[in-house]
Amino acid sequence: MADCFVGRQPIFDVNNRVFAYDLLYRSSLENKVGDVNLTVATSRVIIDAFVEIGLDNVVGRNRVLLNVDRNFLLDPDLVFVPADRVAIQLPEDLETDAEVRAGLDHLQELGYKIALGGYSRTSASAALLSYASIVKIDALTDDDAALAADLASIGQHRVVKVAKRVETAERRDQLVEMGFDCFQGHFLAKPEVVSGERMPSNRIAVLDLVTKICDPDLGGDELAELIAMDATLSLRTLRFVNSPLSGLSNEVESIHHATVLLGRNIIKSWVMLLAITGLDNNVPELVTTAFVRAKLCERLASEAGLAGTDSFFTVGLFSLMDALMGTPMPNLLETLPFSPEVKGALSDRSGVRGEAVACAESLEVGAPDGAGFQNLSGDRIADCYLEAVNWADEAVASMR
């Protein structure tokens, strides 16, 4: 696949379930966001995501928000994407006139929902509120009175109110109280930890298991014995090993056999994945994102010809462990038997492993400027990212 960048940024409901994804496309990773013409970008989204790649390969069966500009609204027949999967998202500075309204009328007749990408009571898009089913409001502000006034201006319109640029869980909780329905931002990846709070027993058990698995001196037989001590984990591991993801043609009946066939490092990685999915109150999208990062970091290292790709996988996976565990990263690193290089990558994104995680983080938020790794081309990084997304979705599905 050439010349294609795929980004997906989730929007969560109040229960931290995915409500929809923003699709974030660019013609290549080297493009700066400000240099991309929205008409061209929308065209590439439609061709690449809906024709070349396939929407299910990017976001599963979830709904997406598709950014369009005036040119698409003046000729709505250019928008030939499925109305049951796509909401048309309008830019905040869209000037409203009779031609734009006619285009929106036609799109609604075709069954499309309309989203306002940046609503405020004083913005140009306020004139289009009557068309909207989804309204986004920027929540990164210290002026909560103005934010409340924007919410109040929506009045009795039956819309899904989305707070965007939500940076912390505490802020998200405040916005729930204010009346927002959905949230977009980094709040899931930044745990709010109360000083002295005791880690739940389930998470202590998972951390203890993961710590033992990460021990570099753990042999294959010891690994098999460790997994066998937990009947549920053993069953899930064998189910995972016998899924298409392993690439094995014959059924595997024991953990020891799987370790021999696939190798100790692969089994260790999979058991860590299974342990993480077993956490109490985990957020499915956060788990999936951790899986994407793990596979992407591994693929980037492989493409760049770097040694120790399994350590890149581990760094990607553990880069969200603080959010999954609800525990600060420094506290976790005190207990985990990682090398200084791995700990540096997790604590401050240092070294080549930290560079891989930083690349993954940039891709997640659609920031191609920061999505570089070693000397890999933007197109190759984009391919690796799409492969990682597909692998992670399959991995999560196989664990259910």
pLDDT digits (tens, 9 = 90+) for 331-362: 888 888 888 999 999 999 999 999 999 999 88
Residue 369 confidence (pLDDT)? 57
pLDDT recorded at residue 39: 67
Q: What is the pLDDT of residues 53-83, one digit of tens each?
A: 777 777 778 899 988 888 888 887 777 788 9
Query: How confident is the model at residue 400, as a pLDDT?
Result: 62
pLDDT of residue 5: 57
Q: CATH 1.10.3210.10: which residues of the chain? A: 201-398
User: Has residue 385 got a pLDDT over 50?
Assistant: yes
Query: Quick one: DSSP state of residue 129?
Result: G
Largest distance between two CA atoms of the chain? 73
Every domain range in the chain assigned CATH 3.20.20.450? 5-189
Phi (first) and psi of residue 75, to 5 degrees: -135, 75
Tell me the average pLDDT across 161-188: 90
- Please check whether residue 104 is in contact with residue 72, taking contact to mean a CB–CB distance below 8 angstroms: no
Which CATH number is associated with domain 201-398? 1.10.3210.10
How confident is residue 95, by pLDDT bands cut at 50, 70 and 90? confident
pLDDT digits (tens, 9 = 90+) for 138-161: 999 889 999 999 999 998 889 999
Give the pLDDT confidence score for residue 41 in this predicted structure.
65
The superfamily CATH assigns to domain 5-189 is EAL domain (3.20.20.450)
Cβ-count burial 23-62 (b if 16+ within 10 Å, e if not): bbbbbbbebeeeebeeeebbbbbbebbbeebebeebbeeb
- Residue 275 tokens read as 């342990």
Query: What's the whole-number mean pLDDT along residues 98-102?
Result: 92
Label residue 31 by pLDDT band (50, 70, 90): very low
Q: Which residues contact 15 (CB under 8 A, 6 or more apart)?
A: none
Percent of the chain with pLDDT over 70: 84
Give yes or no for a contact between 389 and 8, defined as CB atoms under 8 angstroms apart. Answer: yes
**pTM given for the model:** 0.71
Predicted pLDDT at 124: 82
Q: Are 7 and 378 in contact (CB under 8 A)?
A: no
**Spatial separation of the C-alpha atoms in residues 35 and 26, rounded to whole Å:** 10
* Average pLDDT score over the chain: 81
Of residues 298 and 396, more confidence is placed in: 298
Q: In this predicted model, which residue has the larger pLDDT, 279 or 391? A: 391
Separation CA 354–CA 348 (nearest Å): 7
Per-residue pLDDT, 370: 59
CB burial string 374-397: b at 16+ within 10 A, e below: eebebbbbbbbbbebbbbbbebbe
- Least confident span in 1-5, 352-356, 361-365: 1-5
